[in-house]
């Protein structure tokens, strides 16, 4: 396969990774919001929805891995030419923040929420509300960062 075929093939897989990552982030957010509505009505039933969100994390990770691997592949094929351009440098920094946001904020707060949601201790409610606010902040920032990365990748400002 020559470069002229391989580059668009990698870009297709890159965009597939984007669909998987952004798609599961949206679905995760919708399920998370539905969980809180259900939580006020029926606590036991609502836990099924919280459980479902853990399945999205795996697909989200596959999408992120696909984006990174195909991104590195495209960089190698183009001999790192994009690496010298401003849009790519900003994009790369934002991608690192997206990964840290998912690994440090989302993962940690989800574990905290799961730990305290069935807890009956006196500080449980406070911890639950803290994790809930942090997770809503995570979704908002992740959507904004993804939008900025797509915007930069399409317009390629230099
Ligand atoms: C959240 C992560 C990422 C998102 C949402 C994303 C999104 C995109 C999008 C939408 C394009 C298509 C632009 C177009 O053709 O108009 C693109 C192209 C590109 N991406 Fe990414 N990307 C991500 C991560 C990465 C990473 C980690 C790398 C490199 C290590 C990378 C390298 C590239 C390169 C080199 C292109 C240009 C390909 C070309 O025009 O020939 N991307 N990206």
pLDDT of 152 over the 80 cut: yes
pLDDT of 119 over the 90 cut: no
What angle, rounded to 10 degrees, do the helices at 124-155 and 86-100 form? 160
Atom of ligand 1 nearest to the CA of 18: 5
**Length of the chain, in residues:** 158
Question: pLDDT tier at 76 (50, 70, 90 boundaries)?
Answer: very high
Residue 4 CA to ligand 1 centre (angstroms): 17
pLDDT of 120 over the 90 cut: no
Q: Which residue from 67, 90, 150, 154 has its CB within 8 A of the most atoms of ligand 1, so it is best to mutate?
A: 67
Residue of the CA atom closest to atom 23 of ligand 1: 67
Q: Which residue from 91, 97, 143, 155 has its CB within 8 A of the most atoms of ligand 1, so it is best to mutate?
A: 91
143 near 25, Cβ under 8 Å?
yes
Nearest to 108 by CA among 145, 138, 150, 77: 138
Percent of the chain with pLDDT over 90: 82
Whether residue 142 has its Cβ less than 6 Å from ligand 1: no
Whether residue 150 has its Cβ less than 6 Å from ligand 1: yes
Tokens of 124: 């449980």
pLDDT of residue 110: 93
Q: Where are the domains of the chain?
A: 3-155
SS3 string, the chain, reads: CCHHHHHHHHHHHHHHHHHHHHHHHHHHHHHHHHHHHHHHHCHHHHHHHHHHHHHHHHHHHHHHHHHHHHHHHHHHHCCCHHHHCHHHHHHHHHHHHHHHHHHHHHHHHHHHHHHHHCCCCCCHHHHHHHHHHHHHHHHHHHHHHHHHHHHHHHHCCC
Question: pLDDT tier at 18 (50, 70, 90 boundaries)?
Answer: very high
Section 41-61 average pLDDT? 90
């Amino acid at each position: 396969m020559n470069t002229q075929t391989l580059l668009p093939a990698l870009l297709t897989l890159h965009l597939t990774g984007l669909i998987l990552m952004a798609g599961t982030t949206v679905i995760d957010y919708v399920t998370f919001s539905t969980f809180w509505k259900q939580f006020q009505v029926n606590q036991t039933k609502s836990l099924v929805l919280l459980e479902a969100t853990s399945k999205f994390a795996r697909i989200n990770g596959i999408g992120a891995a696909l984006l990174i691997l195909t991104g590195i592949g495209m960089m190698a094929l183009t001999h790192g030419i994009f690496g010298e351009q401003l849009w790519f440098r900003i994009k790369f920094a934002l991608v690192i923040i997206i990964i840290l946001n998912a690994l440090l904020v989302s993962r940690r707060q989800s574990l905290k929420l799961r730990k305290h949601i069935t807890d009956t201790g006196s500080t449980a409610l406070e911890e639950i509300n803290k994790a809930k606010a942090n997770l809503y902040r995570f979704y908002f920032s992740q959507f904004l960062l993804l939008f900025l990365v797509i915007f930069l990748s399409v317009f390629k400002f230099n």
